[in-house]
């Protein structure tokens, strides 16, 4: 099984260093959300507002999912075109990212397994939203599932998810590493897989 989507990221960065920028933005945003949450944690506990830390976690991953879509555009399109496309679809991507993050964060809160399964079946949706052929919600979901299941990227997805889980378990910096990995590597896996599939079709033809 070719896992080139993991290793060729360094070649991608070498050719186009700007693709790493959204990942740094995502880590900084996550750090700021954590600082705000930590600063007010005492007050929140005294008022028993347990939904507020959950909301910060959802917002943190919503930003990560949204930025991964931007990364996909930076990897695939020219700089000017990527900014124009992203500005046009930003609201749609962010709204769906909030929806996605809510279920993923809630799923990991319920003994991890539900969150793992939800993320498995939704992991490439931000990239599919900006690079896929369909702009409709059902088409985006189908495109994501087709990439995972029909195009035989199950192993890629499982390896990526396991790495994210391992990163999260690292004390202090784990979640930031997971966010950095998601924003940068997941779009690269998606694009590498699509390119490989298209090349295979051309050879077969």
Instruction: Note the pLDDT tens digit of each residue in 59-100.
Output: 999 999 999 999 999 998 776 677 788 888 889 999 999 999
- The stretch 148-167 carries a mean pLDDT of 88
Q: So what's the pLDDT on residue 177?
A: 96
Q: So what's the pLDDT on residue 137?
A: 78
The yes-or-no verdict on residue 4 having pLDDT over 80 is no
Closest to 27 measured CA to CA, from 74, 82, 68: 68
Query: How many percent of the chain have pLDDT more than 90?
Result: 45
Helices (H), the chain: 4-7, 9-15, 21-39, 41-46, 51-76, 79-109, 113-122, 125-131, 137-145, 154-168, 174-204
pTM over cut 0.75: yes
Q: From CA 161, how far away is CA 171, in angstroms rounded?
A: 18
The yes-or-no verdict on residue 38 having pLDDT over 80 is no
């Amino acid at each position: 099984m070719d896992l080139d989507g993991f290793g060729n990221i360094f070649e991608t960065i070498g050719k186009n260093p700007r693709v790493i920028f959204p990942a740094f933005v995502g880590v900084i945003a996550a750090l700021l959300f954590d600082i705000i949450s930590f600063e007010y944690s005492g007050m929140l506990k005294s008022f028993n507002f347990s939904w507020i830390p959950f909301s910060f976690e959802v917002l943190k991953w919503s930003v990560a999912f949204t930025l991964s879509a931007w990364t996909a555009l930076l990897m695939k399109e020219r700089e000017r075109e990527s900014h124009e496309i992203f500005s046009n679809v930003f609201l749609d991507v962010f709204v769906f990212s909030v929806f996605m993050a809510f279920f993923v964060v809630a799923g990991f809160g319920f003994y991890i397994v539900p969150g793992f399964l939800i993320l498995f079946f939704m992991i490439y949706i931000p990239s599919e939203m900006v690079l896929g052929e369909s702009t409709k919600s059902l088409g985006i979901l189908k495109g994501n599932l087709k990439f995972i299941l029909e195009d035989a990227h199950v192993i890629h997805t499982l390896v990526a998810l396991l790495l994210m889980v391992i990163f999260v378990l690292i004390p202090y910096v784990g979640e930031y590493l997971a966010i950095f990995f998601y924003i940068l590597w997941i779009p690269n896996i998606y694009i590498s897989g699509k390119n490989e599939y298209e090349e295979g079709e051309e050879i077969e033809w």
